[in-house]
Structure 1
Amino acid sequence: MNRIKQIKVENLFFILATIFIFSFMFVFPINRVPDETNHARMTWETLHKPTEKSFKWMNEIPSNDKVKLAEYKQIFAQKIDMSKEPFHFGVSLKSISFIPQLIGMTIGSWISPTVGMIIYMGRIFNALAYILGIYFLIRYFKYGKTALMFISLLPIMVQQASSLSYDVMNYLEVMLALGFITNLAYSKRFTNRNLIQVIGLAILLLATKPNNILVLGLIPFVPFKFEGALAFLNRPMQAVKAFISKFKGVFYLLFILGVVAVLQFLMKNQGGLHHYGDVLRNTLFNPELNDNLNGILSLGMFGYLGNLTLQMPLWLIFIDIMVLTLLFLSSKKDFFTKDFANASWILFLLEILAAITVMYIQWTPLVLGKGANISVGSQGRYFTPFIILLLPLVANMANIDLSRHKRLKIATVTLVANFLVAMYLILFHYWGVFA
């Protein structure tokens, strides 16, 4: 543990992530992570045309809680007839989310065209993308490096990184955008190169989940000066900021009215705003009506594992929240303005609102029928990437001077505890170990 005094955060992450993610990968049975076969299908269909004789990823892989070893071995023994999987180049913008898995699954099909080999190779490449991506993002971030490491190694993120989930690319893209924005706050300048980067980030964010584009709404709240060809914007930008600062109450009122107008448009065929208000209240505040509120939706941000069956102990979740709060409070914050901190936590709430609203419109009618009184389908893991948006708000609540060594030590001990408990739950639940 004393070696933590000298180790860099990104190197510590690399070590822990490699141990955690590859351990999860090999103890988590195939198709026991939410939507894994759906992600396998979506990845496979990028290069293979689906036919009536194609391998049915959604139907032909068991998902029972207790793994039957003999049955499970068949996944690695029975080969797919590749002649029934015709090549078809169907790459689109959405395919960006599946590039690591696609590379791995393709190589796996060359090595041995069995479901086990194909999926595990896809898992390995997805894991490598996550580990290397976060490693370089930690180096890129100018603030909250330990907090980023901690969030990235929570059980829910370790699970997703060890599977075929496109949450990996989604998480990397959101963190890249947040790193870019906070680095702008640190440098206090916006160059021609930054404009090109913003366009690229917008494309990446839209490629995964459209609501991710909201993250770029933080840029106007960053105090910077334009340089190069954009320098002519400095004077009008200052004028706009001065106007908003003078009439801040009016600005927030217009913002709220804008959100209400968008919701009114989205919900005009779903019962209107009054009904939507009831849905939102029931979904977020009434566990009697929404029995997924405390588990999948809330605790899911930290660790609701397996096919939504393994809940991490609540006492450990409380410890995670306390440690994360401590990491936030001890983070560097001298380059954050009050407006940026407020915009960050408001954006966190907007991301939750957006996910619940989209799920109510697209998924809830399929499950509960039209006009349901709650929104279903949202999972806490959708919000995990945005937890770091709370850092500026929490960091400015108090000033805790905690040495780098102590921060890393506390974070490491807590993450190892999470890992060991999660491994016990997986081995006990799926493989019957310790039973």
Structure 2
Amino acid sequence: MVAVKSRSSIQVAVEQKVPKPQRWSLETLFLIIGFFFGVLFLATTPPFQVADESRHFVRAYQISEDVLHALGWIPSSDKLPVSLVNAIEETQYLHVDPESKTTIGHTLSLMDDDLRPEARVRYVDTAGYPFISYLPQLALIIPMRLLQVNAVVTLYAARFCALLFWLLVTYLAIRKLPVAKHLLVFIALLPMTIFQAGSLSADCITLSLSFLLIAYYVHLAHKASYVRSNEFLVVSGVGALLTAAKLVYFPLVGLHFLISPAKFRSRRLYVLTFALTVFVCIATLLISYNNFLTPLFSPEKAVAATSAQGPTPYPQLNFLLANPLNIGRMLAATGGKYGRTYMDGFVGHLGWRCASLPSYLYVVTILMIAITAFTADSRLFTRRWHRLLLIGIAAVISGAICLAICTDTFLNHKPTFLLRGIQGRYFTPFAMLIGLLAANRTSLNRRYGRYIQAAMLPFVVFLLLNAFYFLVDHYYEL
């Protein structure tokens, strides 16, 4: 009997040591779903039919030619190839007339046109972003320009390169995030997020880097050991690239204060590392936007530029800053007027903001995100200081987006309380911050969390299938 008991106990011990077969991780499922639907979206969307994609492509193409000219491989020119401009003009009708359709044959015919880089024409409708905003796309545009590849073929190749970059960086963010992984996967797999990631838009780099920066800060806040120097370098590097790509997301470096000072060798080092991160971000921004230095070294040029705009170059901004109450009124009026549009643009308003999902899907998706956020389990974000910090950063970014849009409306010489130009996708990078505010330690996590998380991915796939159908239905005859 003793021997039997001994053998039985050994068997139990062996069985306990045998690891159970591992299912696919959440980040692996993200890669599979994101890659599949990302390729579907970018291949189905006709050329230049992502919002403002023609302006972004022109900007990236000009940067690629500047690089090749600096290397002495092509001559300098401030004009674009005629074939590229013709491709933009031949597809413009699709967003000018939302009821118009196209065919795959039309896209293939645009791909047959030789680049002919020597035939040039002036084209001025370009975006104003720095080269950092297009780093993933430039990795392919530069060699393809050197090989004189067709402009539309280059566009699709650059879309694919952007998608791969976004998938890789977001995958790293999901792996690094210690809590609320399902919430980040949900936000990252929204139709609008994937659609923008596989495009020439700057959203590819801003979305992925903002996810990674948030995940890394939350990781450092949760870890038990000291913050190492290499971890600080990662945070500074990601924050610098994100700031240079889109300045309004610079306040995300304030997440540094989620980390306890006890995880640094001294409180002085705690403050110093934050100051160094801010310095690196600002320095990178000034390098990428070197025209910011013009007023310092050439004040006469700055005065001349301001005079050319008239006495009030930014009437909308001046109107809001003249009375602080005007900002609150503007937010209330704009939110009331375009709040539904922002929700649609956050979830999935594809194409040139014209391929829409059914109305009920927008509402259900927002509710599902909220429920997923409430089942996030995190002791860290139940603390009042951390909640106030998240709210403050989200508010600052929202205000920065509004003020940035105000400066872009300087041509409107009639100030208004309705601020146009804001898109719902602008708020995607800090949707995770809002979701973390719902993190709790209640029984809701233990009772229903696993069911809601299990239902999240099937719902996301259902949502993406609907988005793909309505994208195809909008642009092609079925």
**Pair 158,41 (structure 1): closer, same or farther in 2 beyond 3 Å:** same
Q: Which amino acid in the other structure matches residue 433 of structure 2?
A: L
Match of 1:68 among 102, 115, 119: 102
**Shift, 1:104, TM fit:** 2.3
| 1:387 and 2:431 aligned | yes
Taking the aligned partners of 1:32 and 1:236, their CA distance within structure 2 comes to: 45
Q: Which residue of 1 aligns with 2:397?
A: 351
Identity of counterpart residues, as a percentage? 22
Contact 2:375 2:440 in 1 (8 A): no
Match of 2:115 among 53, 64, 80: 80
Taking the aligned partners of 2:328 and 2:472, their CA distance within structure 1 comes to: 42
Residue pairs, 1:166-245, within 5 angstroms:
166-187=202-223, 189-228=226-265, 230=266, 232-233=268-269
**Pair 98,235 (structure 1): closer, same or farther in 2 beyond 3 Å:** closer
**Shift, 1:420, TM fit:** 1.4
Taking the aligned partners of 2:236 and 2:24, their CA distance within structure 1 comes to: 35
**Shift, 1:110, TM fit:** 5.7
Taking the aligned partners of 2:223 and 2:173, their CA distance within structure 1 comes to: 17
Contact 1:330 1:395 in 2 (8 A): yes
Bigger shift: residues 55-64 or 71-80: 55-64
Q: Which whole-Å deviations, capped at 9, do the CAs of 1:368-406 have from their partners, x for residues lacking one?
A: 434222211110000012111022321138532257763
Q: Which amino acid in the other structure matches residue 340 of structure 2?
A: N
Q: Which whole-Å deviations, capped at 9, do the CAs of 1:49-88 have from their partners, x for residues lacking one?
A: 55345345595341314333354333111111123579xx
Q: Which residue of 2 aligns with 1:281?
A: 332
Q: Which whole-Å deviations, capped at 9, do the CAs of 1:170-193 have from their partners, x for residues lacking one?
A: 011111211121112102543434
Q: Which amino acid in the other structure matches residue 179 of structure 2?
A: Y
Q: Which residue of 2 aligns with 1:23?
A: 40
Q: Which residue of 2 aligns with 1:409?
A: 454
Bigger shift: residues 25-34 or 97-106: 97-106
Contact 2:348 2:357 in 1 (8 A): yes
**Shift, 1:34, TM fit:** 0.4
Contact 1:329 1:397 in 2 (8 A): no
Q: Which whole-Å deviations, capped at 9, do the CAs of 1:15-42 have from their partners, x for residues lacking one?
A: 1011110011111111111011111111
Contact 2:319 2:415 in 1 (8 A): no
Taking the aligned partners of 2:32 and 2:271, their CA distance within structure 1 comes to: 48
Aligned length: 388
State the SS of the aligned residue for 2:89: coil
Contact 1:105 1:118 in 2 (8 A): yes
Q: For the pair shown, which has the larger CA radius of gyration, 1 or 2?
A: 2
Contact 1:333 1:395 in 2 (8 A): yes
Residue pairs, 1:245-284, within 5 angstroms:
267=318, 271-284=322-335
Taking the aligned partners of 2:448 and 2:25, their CA distance within structure 1 comes to: 14
State the SS of the aligned residue for 2:46: coil
**Pair 236,21 (structure 1): closer, same or farther in 2 beyond 3 Å:** closer
Taking the aligned partners of 1:375 and 1:385, their CA distance within structure 2 comes to: 21
Taking the aligned partners of 2:56 and 2:271, their CA distance within structure 1 comes to: 48
State the SS of the aligned residue for 2:475: helix
State the SS of the aligned residue for 2:244: helix
State the SS of the aligned residue for 1:51: coil
When normalised by structure 2's length, the TM-score is 0.74
State the SS of the aligned residue for 2:118: helix
Q: Which residue of 2 aligns with 1:249?
A: none
Q: Which whole-Å deviations, capped at 9, do the CAs of 1:138-162 have from their partners, x for residues lacking one?
A: 1111111111111111010111122
State the SS of the aligned residue for 2:63: coil
Taking the aligned partners of 2:64 and 2:409, their CA distance within structure 1 comes to: 31
Q: Which amino acid in the other structure matches residue 109 of structure 2?
A: Q
Match of 1:124 among 140, 160, 179: 160
Q: Which amino acid in the other structure matches residue 102 of structure 2?
A: K
Contact 1:48 1:85 in 2 (8 A): no
Bigger shift: residues 334-343 or 38-47: 334-343
Match of 1:157 among 189, 193, 196: 193
Taking the aligned partners of 1:171 and 1:235, their CA distance within structure 2 comes to: 27
| 1:100 and 2:136 aligned | yes
**Pair 146,111 (structure 1): closer, same or farther in 2 beyond 3 Å:** farther
Q: Which whole-Å deviations, capped at 9, do the CAs of 1:328-375 have from their partners, x for residues lacking one?
A: 122220233221122213322332222112102x22233x43422221
Taking the aligned partners of 2:361 and 2:170, their CA distance within structure 1 comes to: 24
Q: Return 5+ residue gaps in structure 1 as ranges.
A: 87-91, 238-265
